[in-house]
Homo-oligomer: A and B are copies of this chain.
Amino acid sequence: MRASVTTIEPNGHFCSDCAVRGFAVCASLDPEELREFEHLGRRVHFAAGETVFSEEDITTSFYNLLEGVMRLYKLLPDGRRQIVGFALPGDFLGMNISDRHNFSADAIGAVTVCQFAKAPFGRFIEDRPHLLRRINELAIRELGQARDHMVLLGRRSADEKVATFLLGWRERLFSLKGSSNTVPLPMSRQDIADYLGLTIETVSRTFTKLERHGAIEILHGGISLRDPARVEALAAA
C-alpha cells in the first residue's frame, strides 16, 4: 500500500520532549545541538499498511521511528518476500551506500516517524563525529542482529524459529516497555512467516502446538508466555 493520507505536522514539537530522545540517534546530541537538530526533522504520520519507502527508491530521507512498528523487507522478482527485520521506536532507517534503499518499509498499524532530508542531515553530521559514532554503533548492533538471524534462517527448525522469535520480540519490547509475560504481536502471521522463512500454515501450527503443550496462550493480537522456561528450552536447542 502506497502512502496516501500521510499527515505532516507543523513544527510544533520539541526534541527534548521526544519519546525516543534517550535511545535513538539523537541520544548523542547535547541540548544545544538538539535545538539546531530540531529544525531538520519533521514528524510524519503513516496509517496502517502504508509504505514509508521502497527498495528501489532513491534515498531522499532518513527516518527515526518514534511510534509504532514497521516491517522491513525485500522481495524477489516472483513475489516471495523476506522480512529482514521489524523496526521499533528509536530505530534509525535509511542509511545505505548506493543512494538507494536496499529494503522496503511498511507501517504495521499507525506509525510516527521523524523524517530528515538526506542532504541537510549529512551536513549536520559532517562536523559532529559523536553523532557519526552513534550511527556507526547502531549499524554495528544491527549487523550483529542480522548475523544472528542468518543462523536462525539457515540452521534452525520451525519450532526453534518460532520460540526464538517470541523470546527475541519479548526482549525488544522489554527494553521499551518493561518486562511482561504478555507479548503483543502487532504483525500478522504472514509477517511472522516471512520473517522466519516459513509459511503461514507452519507458523499457525507451531503456535497451536506450543499452546497445546502449555508453553504459551494465544491471545488476540499477541500471546502470553505461560511457561517461559519451556519456550527457552525450545529456542536454545
Question: Which B residue's beta carbon lies closest to that of A136?
Answer: B136
When the two chains form their complex, are residues A82 and B155 in contact, meaning their CB atoms are under 8 A apart? yes
Contact A151 B95 (CB under 8 A): no
A74 proximity list for chain B (CB < 8 A): 147-148, 150-151
Q: Which residues of B contact A56 (CB under 8 A)?
A: none
Q: Is A76 an interface residue (CB 8 A)?
A: yes
Are A143 and B144 in contact, with the CB atoms below 8 A?
no
- Dominant secondary structure at the A interface: helix
How long is the Cα–Cα vector from A143 to B135 in the complex, in angstroms? 13
Nearest CB of B to A188, in Å: 17
Chain B residue nearest to A128 in the complex (CB): B129
B197 touching A76 by the CB < 8 A rule? no
Stretch from A96-104, A202-210, A211-219 contacting the other chain: A96-104
Q: What's the minimum C-beta distance from A234 to chain B, rounded to whole angstroms?
A: 13
Measured CA separation A86–B12 after assembly (Å): 49
Check B147–A81 contact: CB distance below 8 A.
no
The A75-108 residues at the B interface (CB cut-off 8 A) are: 76-78, 80-82, 84, 95-98, 102-103
Chain B residues within an 8 Å CB radius of A97: 137, 140-141, 144
In the complex, A197 Cα to B154 Cα: how many Å?
A: 4
Asked whether, in the complex, the Cβ of A136 is within 8 Å of the Cβ of B144, the reply is: no
List chain B residues, Cβ under 8 A from A229: none
A196 at the interface (CB under 8 A from B): yes
- Interface residues in A32-74 (C-beta closer than 8 Å to B): 74
22 pairs, A vs B, C-beta closer than 8 Å: A74-B150, A76-B151, A76-B156, A81-B155, A82-B150, A82-B151, A82-B155, A84-B150, A84-B151, A96-B140, A97-B137, A97-B144, A98-B144, A102-B147, A136-B136, A136-B139, A139-B140, A142-B143, A143-B143, A149-B150, A153-B153, A153-B197
- Apart from A102-B147, A143-B143, A154-B196, what 12 extra A-B contacts exist at CB < 8 Å? A74-B150, A76-B155, A76-B156, A78-B237, A80-B155, A84-B150, A95-B140, A98-B144, A102-B144, A154-B194, A154-B197, A155-B197
